[in-house]
Amino acid sequence: MRPELIDITLILLIAGIVGYYIYLRYREEKRKKEKQLIPTLEYYRDRYLKERSQYIQRAEKFRQKMEHFRDRINHIKNNIQDYSWNQDEKKILKTLKGTDFEWTFSVMFEILGYRIYEPPVFKDHHIDFILEVDKDKKVCIDFVDYQQAKKLGKKYIDKLLEGKEKYRCSGVWIITNSRLKQEIKEYLLKKEVNLFEYEQIIRFFPSIRIVEDYYETTTRFHNYELLHKETTDEIIRRDTWLNEVEEKLQEAYKKLEEKKAVAK
């Protein structure tokens, strides 16, 4: 026999032996996998059931926290009379400026039950917010802090009144933590613009402490609301996985019964 033929025969023999070994290993691994399929699926089913139960407990805990802070929010809204001004809060009111001043009183109106939103164009015609008193009545609001009050003049007010017409508001309110000059007050009165100065704020609005309490409470409510949603999503995810495992288990049980029937 020629050397080349011997080499080819040897290679084919070795390849055949290796191939057969691979086949045997494949069958063995497949057998092991089939043997372990049901225990593995049962393990995952038990694991997902346990995790689901844990997430259900967490979700209930977060739901109770949400209810607690929702009740707290309602308590704040229903007990506005408890928030009277003290001297420290009056001092803080005098120093509020810019966005802090605007934010504080926009939240205040929300607490009082009004819907308040910014105009489409930022500070359009000096209007900071539009407040809905009811379905058919809107008010244009301009917050003027103690630093801006000196800039308030007739042209400024006329610009506000143009904004009133543009946004079809029934009135204009200027809210300031300062005191305006008498001639400006008279012009505002003439133009039927409502003015809330420092003294009127203290008289007609609850203390800014209510904003701090409300903001802190709503923040904690929303945090627990987010946690509750995330936890509920995990429950839904476990339900999906459990359904998939259960389907595979039923198939595995069926195949096992069929094998037992054939063996008999």
Written as tens digits, the pLDDT of the chain (264 aa) is: 555 666 566 666 666 665 655 655 555 555 555 567 788 888 999 999 999 999 999 999 999 999 999 999 999 999 999 999 999 999 999 999 999 999 999 999 999 999 999 999 888 999 999 999 887 899 999 999 999 988 889 999 999 999 999 999 999 999 999 999 999 999 999 999 999 999 999 999 999 999 999 999 999 999 999 999 999 999 999 999 999 999 988 888 888 777 767 666
Q: Percentages helix, strand, coil for the chain, rounded to the nearest 5?
A: 75, 10, 15
Q: In angstroms, rounded to a whole number, what is the distance separating the alpha carbons of residues 185 and 199? A: 14
Looking at residue 257, its pLDDT comes to 77
pLDDT at 9: 63
- Supply the DSSP symbol for 256: H
pLDDT at 156: 94
**What contacts 130, CB < 8 A, 6 or more positions away?**
116, 117, 118, 119, 138, 139, 140, 141, 167, 169
The pLDDT value recorded for residue 206 is 96
Q: Please report, for residues 45, 223, 255, 258, the alpha-carbon distance to residue 261 in angstroms, rounded to integers and kept in the order given.
A: 26, 57, 10, 5
**CA pair distance 97, 176, nearest whole angstrom:** 10
In angstroms, the CA 245 to CA 67 distance is 35
